[in-house]
Structure formats: C-alpha cells, structure tokens
C-alpha cells in the first residue's frame, strides 16, 4: 500500500483525472445550454454513442481524425435536431422523447457499426491511429504542473475552455440571456417577440453536437476503436453532473473533475492490486452519483420551465 | 403527456378575416375560405390513438425497408425471413411467446410507473434483483416442499425487485432525487453486484464460468408442450397484465396513481398522499420486473449466468410500454411483436446477412414515430367552409 502514495502514482492520478473528465465535461456543458432553453435532453447516452461511432466511422474511412470529429458533431447534432423536432415543435413529453432517442442512438450505432464492419457474423474491431496528446511547448516542461495541465488531448483543452465560454455565453451575451429567459418564462419571451422555437432548436442541436464530440473523445482520443458499451453510462453521469452542478458552468467543471479524480483513484487502486472485489470499484462511480445527487439538492438555478412544453395561447 | 389535457377552444374562422388581411399577412392564407387548417380536436377518441399507432408502425416498416435497401438486401426477403423466424411455424411462434414472457412483465413494470408519472428506468436492475431474490430463497431454504418453495421463490423475486425499486422511490420522496438518474445508476450497481456474486460467493464449483450451480429439477417451471420451452411463466405474465389492468382501472390505488400521473399537486389537494402512492407504485413496478427475473430463471435458464446481465429485457420493456401507450393489453400485443422481432432477427441474419441489431433500429424508429403519431392524432385538418 505504501507504494501507492508515490510521486508517479499520484501524478498519474491527476493526469488521468482530466482524461476521464473530458467526455463528461464536453457533454455536460452542451447539455447545460440545452437545459437552459427549457428542454431536458435525456438522450445523452445514445447521442454520445452515436457520436463515438460516427466519429470513428469517418476517421477510419478518411484516415483523418479531424474529419472524424466533424462526423461526430454531425452524428450528435442529427440526434439533437430530432430531439428538437420532437420536443420544441411537436411537443412530445421531453422525458419520453429523450428515452426514445436514447434507444434510437444506441440501436442506430450498433446496427450501423455491424453493417459496415461485420463480415460473416464476426466483427473485425478495426482501430484508428488515435489522437496524440498535444504537448504545449515550454509550459509542459514545468515539473508536475506541465504534465497535468499542458500535456493533454486537444479535446481536453477544448472541454475546459468550454466552461468559461458557456458561462459567458449564458450570462453575458444577448442570445444566451434570451435562451435562459426562455427556460424560465417562455410566455414572457413570446410576448417580447423573442423567437422561442428557433432558439430551442439551436440550443438542443448544440447540446447534441457537444455530446457527439464527448463520445468521439472515447473512440478517437481516449481509445482507438468503437464497441457497443463504449460510453458505459457516461451520458447518464453527465446528466447527473448538470443537476449536481446546479446548472452552473463552474460547478459542472468541479463535478466533472471530482468524478474524474475518484475514477482515476479507483483505477490506480485497482492497478496496485488492492484487495477489494473489482466489481465494487466498477459500481463506485454510479453509487457516488446517487450519493452526490442526494447530498447536493440545491435547485436555485434550475430553469423553471424545464420539461414543460410551451403552447402559445394556453394556460 | 399530462400537459395536453386542457383543450383551448378554437376561434371559428370569420369571413371578414379574408377581406381585411388578404395580401398582407402571409399567415392569413391559412385562414382564407376554402383553405385547409390544422386545429386541435376538442375530443380525441381513444380509437384514433390506435389508428395513429398503426399508421406509425406502417411508416416504420417503410423506413426500415429503405434502410434494408441501402444495406443491399431486398426488403421483401428481409421481412419474409424476419416473419418466418418469428411466426413462420409452430416451433418459432411458441419460441416467440417464450421471449415475450419477460417483456410483458418488464413492459408492465414500466407502464404502471409511467402512468403515475414516476420514471422508473430501472426495470433492468429490478429484473436482476428478482433473479437474485429467487436464487437466494432457493439457496437458503433447500428443505421446503415443492409447492411452498415455488411460492416462496416468486415472493422472493417480487420482494427483491420491489426493494431495489424502493431505494429509488424513497430517495425521490424523501430527498427529491431525480428517479430517472437513480434508477439508471442502480442498474449499473446491481450489474456489478451480480458479477461479484457470480464470480464469488455463488459461483458454481464445477465450472470456471461466472455462473451459479444448476438448480434441481423439481424447481423447474412446468412447460405447456413437450416440443417447446414455453413455460408457466407466460401464463403468469398474462395474469399479471389482467391484475394490473384491474388495479389501474378499478382500485383506489389505481385512481391515485392515475391522478398523480396527471398532476401531482392537484392530486395532493384532492387528498391523495403522493409520497405513499409513489412508493406503492414503484414497489409494484419493481416487483413485476422481479417476477420476470424469476420466470427466466425457473422457466428457462435454471441457473444465473451472464445472460441475465446481457439480455436488456428491462430496457426493451420501456419501449414496449411506450409503444403500447401504457395500456396493459397493448403491452401483451407489443411484447409479442417485439419478441417476434428478436426471435426472427437471428434467422434474418443467417438468411440475408443483415445484422440482427436491425431490431434495435426498428424499436427506436417505431417508438419515435408512435410518439409523434400520438400527438398528431390530437389534431385534425379541416377544410374551412367557403363563404361567398
């Protein structure tokens, strides 16, 4: 056990914290914008899986990882568009619509993957030459700090950058504030002539694009292949992080990093051969999510019209 | 679904709208005499929902047919082999009913909870809890006479399923914790728990696999026919559908759960104890999924193995319930249809090379279209009368 508290192990935990937090962070900041407009998109798990697949497909076919990211954004955005049609236009119950698109996203990715890569009932599990970490010159030479903060994937920097960006967008720009007013009081916005449906479309499609990119991190940067269970509950955890973070961008960063840290600690405990059933460690992130949701019940920033569809001329 | 209850009366078109607005406001085109207009129905007859669902399923077939063409197979061949594998002969039709058995129960599990506006996504975990409960009773009370043991095992399954669901409902009622997320998290937790049980305390001595020992033959559920695996669990599932229908329609609890499903606050003003109703509904819901676990264990597998984690019957149950528009009788029909898809997909893959995962796409597309159709049938296109 004393081997565990060595410099390299602890440094490794901090490096891994950011890697594990990245897909959660990207998906959760996108979901924050969607929820700010009053639409709860429960389909993150399916959308991330679709993004992980469509990103992998394009990257594998073209050999270009950046085009893969575009593919992931398109795959996620397409599901976001469908979600927007169902909830903002047709006004299907948002929870039910989210569950439906979750299933469509997962099923679509499974089927598409098999119809491309399955030969005679067996999948070849192709791999891509995944993203390398983007080492920032000079800064990465700082001991410890450099390795943790300046030797990560581009997508990790992007995810962290999205935190202040999302904050500024939602709190300091006209469009973002309008979006939040729609989430709180769509009737008042409608009377002021703020177009509700177009803004909800923008927000939900954006959320889908971000979930797709979060999924692509898993298949193009964190790993180098696609498989059915690749997202493994991260979509649901990202949804929980938005609630846990009380719909604030900064707390979402904290929540994602906390998750990343606990998961990274768990992984290196497992690697150090600690005498605990590994299944307990597997269940840990999900138990922690439940505990976090129970202990953090602050709802001060919840969009007041979340999940309530707006019908002009009713109520 | 509750928000569409109130129907605002529609303005009747006035002829002078035409004279006043014509040519300026493009929207006034819609109000011109002789034009078609989309408007809210004042009353939606239940049969319209059925028609809308059937139309949605027909469109699903068209979309899936196009998808199959893209993959490079004739849709007629694909559908024919799908049907052949699902209902083509006595053997496959009975096997479809075998696969429908757990789906009916997990479908009811989702349907009753969703009726009450409680989003129990944990059917999968409660299904596993039921299998664990069954095995626990079997393992703990080996000396019981057969009839008592059967009852005890099913009770154990129902109780374990109910308890696992109650974890989420207590957190919901006590702390307001979002039950969608807690039930999903509990699915992952019990999956790991089962994996631990199967590779540790309950692992069979005689195999290297993660599975329990095979149960003794006296615990096998009776089968209806010699040539099929169709077991008593199917009858149990049908009975439970009838029980749930009765419970929702004819009992106080049923009234309460429908009331909180429409509007929790109004129900509470009316004197319904919302918290108690949520706990009761979730317990019933979890118990139904638990019974599905017992049925699969005692009727088919006779040991807990990896198949219990991988079948995803809990998730398919959610789709079944939603496509059935939460009606217990509809759950039976949709569960059999979906079981047919699952059953036929294997044959389709062998015969045409289309991946069996096509079923996942069919389920997703069908669900999306049924949901859209359910909203669409609340509207009608009306031709506005021509004035002068």
> How many C-alpha atoms does A111 have within 13 Å on its Cβ side?
25
The total domain count for chain B is 1
Beta-carbon contacts of A270 under 8 Å, excluding residues fewer than 6 positions away, are A278, A281
Using an 8 Å Cβ cutoff, are B41 and B347 in contact? no
Beta-carbon contacts of A84 under 8 Å, excluding residues fewer than 6 positions away, are A39, A200, A201, A204, A205
ipTM confidence score: 0.89
> Has residue B284 been placed in a domain?
yes
> Has residue B192 been placed in a domain?
yes
> Has residue B221 been placed in a domain?
yes
The H or E element containing residue B315 is helix B313-323
Mean pLDDT of A44-72: 96
Does B262 touch chain A if contact means CB atoms closer than 8 Å? no
What is the model's pLDDT at position B277? 95
State chain A's mean pLDDT as an integer: 90
In this complex, which of B119, B349, B357 lies closest to A95 when CB atoms are compared? B119
Shortest alpha-carbon distance between residue A300 and chain B (Å): 14
Question: Alpha-carbon distance A215 to A218, whole Å?
Answer: 5
CA closest to B168 among chain A residues: A290
Chain B residues with CB-CB distance to A95 below 8 A: 119, 180
> Has residue B249 been placed in a domain?
yes
Instruction: Calculate the CA dihedral of residues B48, B54, B56, B62 and round it to 10 degrees.
Output: -150
Question: Alpha-carbon distance A92 to B165, whole Å?
Answer: 26
Domain with B274, as residue range(s), is 51-383
What is the model's pLDDT at position B18? 40
- Architecture of the domain made up of A2-121+142-295: Orthogonal Bundle (1.10)
CATH number at residue B331: 1.10.3470
- Under DSSP, is residue B276 helix (H, G, I), strand (E, B) or coil? helix
CA closest to B114 among chain A residues: A96
CA closest to B354 among chain A residues: A115
Q: Can you name the residues that pair with A134 across neighbouring β-strands? A: A152
Chain A residues with CB-CB distance to B121 below 8 A: 99
pLDDT in tens, chain B (388 residues): 343 333 333 343 444 444 333 344 455 555 555 566 777 777 778 788 888 899 999 999 999 999 999 988 899 999 999 999 999 999 999 999 999 999 999 999 999 999 999 999 999 999 999 999 999 999 999 888 888 999 999 999 999 999 999 999 999 999 989 899 999 999 999 998 998 999 888 888 877 788 888 888 888 888 999 888 999 999 999 999 999 999 999 999 999 999 998 888 899 998 889 999 999 999 999 999 999 999 999 999 999 987 787 668 888 999 999 999 999 999 999 999 999 999 999 889 888 888 888 999 999 999 999 999 988 888 887 776 655 4
Predicted TM-score (pTM) of the model is 0.89
Q: How far is CA B213 from CA A307, B144, B201, in A?
A: 47, 18, 11
**Closest C-alpha among A201, A224, A196 to residue A33:** A201
């Amino acid at each position: 056990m004393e081997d565990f508290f060595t410099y390299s192990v602890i440094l490794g935990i901090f490096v891994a914290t950011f890697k594990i937090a990245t897909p959660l962070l990207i998906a959760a900041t996108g979901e924050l914008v969607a929820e700010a407009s009053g639409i709860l998109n429960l389909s993150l798990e399916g959308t991330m899986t679709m993004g992980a697949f469509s990103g992998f497909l394009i990257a594998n076919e073209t050999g270009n990882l950046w085009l893969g990211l575009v593919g992931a954004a398109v795959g996620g955005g397409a599901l976001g568009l469908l979600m927007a049609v169902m909830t903002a236009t047709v006004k299907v119950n948002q929870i039910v619509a989210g569950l439906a698109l979750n299933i469509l996203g997962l099923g679509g990715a499974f089927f598409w993957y098999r119809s491309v890569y399955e030969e005679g009932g067996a999948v070849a599990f192709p791999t891509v030459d995944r993203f390398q970490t983007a080492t920032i010159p000079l800064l990465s030479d700082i001991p410890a700090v450099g390795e943790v903060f300046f030797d990560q994937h581009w997508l990790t920097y992007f995810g962290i950058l999205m935190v202040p960006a999302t904050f500024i967008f939602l709190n300091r720009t006209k469009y973002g504030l309008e979006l939040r007013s729609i989430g709180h009081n769509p009737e008042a916005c409608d009377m002021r002539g703020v177009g509700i449906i177009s803004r909800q479309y923008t927000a939900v499609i954006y959320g889908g694009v971000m979930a797709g990119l979060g999924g692509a991190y898993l298949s193009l940067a964190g790993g180098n292949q696609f498989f059915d269970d690749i997202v493994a509950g991260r979509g649901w955890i990202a949804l929980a992080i938005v609630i846990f973070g009380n719909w604030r961008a900064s707390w979402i960063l904290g929540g994602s990093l906390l998750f990343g840290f606990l998961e990274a600690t768990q992984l290196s405990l497992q690697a150090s051969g600690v005498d605990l059933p590994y299944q307990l460690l597997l269940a840990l992130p999900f138990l922690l999510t439940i505990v976090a949701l129970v202990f953090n019940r602050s709802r001060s920033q919840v969009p007041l019209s979340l999940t309530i569809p707006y019908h002009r001329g009713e109520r | 679904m509750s928000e569409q209850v109130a129907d605002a009366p529609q303005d009747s078109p006035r002829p002078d709208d035409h004279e006043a607005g014509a040519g300026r406001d493009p929207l006034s085109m819609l109000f011109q005499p002789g034009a078609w207009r989309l408007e809210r129905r004042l009353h939606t007859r239940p049969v319209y929902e059925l028609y809308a669902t059937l139309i949605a399923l027909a469109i699903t077939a068209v979309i899936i047919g196009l998808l199959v063409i893209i993959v490079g197979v004739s849709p007629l061949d694909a559908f024919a082999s799908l049907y052949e594998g699902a209902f083509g002969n006595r053997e496959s039709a009975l096997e479809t009913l075998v696969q429908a058995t757990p789906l009916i129960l997990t479908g009811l599990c989702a349907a009753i909870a969703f009726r009450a506006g409680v989003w129990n996504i944990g059917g999968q975990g409660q299904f596993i809890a039921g299998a664990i409960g069954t095995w626990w009773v079997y393992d703990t009370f080996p000396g019981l006479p057969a009839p008592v043991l059967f009852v005890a095992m099913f009770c154990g399954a129902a109780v374990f399923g109910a308890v696992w669901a109650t974890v989420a409902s207590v957190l919901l009622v006590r702390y307001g914790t979002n039950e969608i997320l807690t039930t999903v998290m509990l699915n992952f937790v019990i999956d790991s728990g089962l994996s631990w049980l199967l590779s540790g305390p309950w692992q069979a001595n005689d195999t290297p696999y993660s599975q329990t020992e095979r149960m003794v033959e006296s615990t096998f559920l009776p089968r209806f026919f010699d040539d099929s695996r169709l077991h008593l669990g199917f009858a149990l599932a049908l009975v439970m559908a009838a029980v749930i229908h009765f419970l929702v329609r004819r009992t106080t609890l049923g009234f309460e759960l429908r009331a909180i499903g429409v509007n929790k606050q109004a129900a509470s003003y009316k004197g319904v104890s919302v918290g108690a109703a949520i706990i009761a509904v979730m317990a019933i819901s979890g118990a139904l999924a638990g019974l599905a676990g017992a049925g699969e264990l005692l009727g088919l597998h006779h040991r807990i193995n990896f198949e219990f984690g991988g079948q995803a019957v809990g998730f398919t149950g959610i789709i079944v319930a939603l496509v059935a528009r939460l009606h217990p009788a509809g759950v039976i029909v949709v569960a059999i249809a979906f079981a047919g898809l699952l059953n036929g997909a294997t044959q389709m893959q062998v015969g045409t090379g289309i991946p069996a995962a096509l079923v996942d796409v069919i389920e997703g597309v069908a669900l999306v279209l049924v949901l859209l159709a359910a909203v669409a049938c609340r509207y009608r296109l009306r031709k506005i009368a021509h004035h002068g």
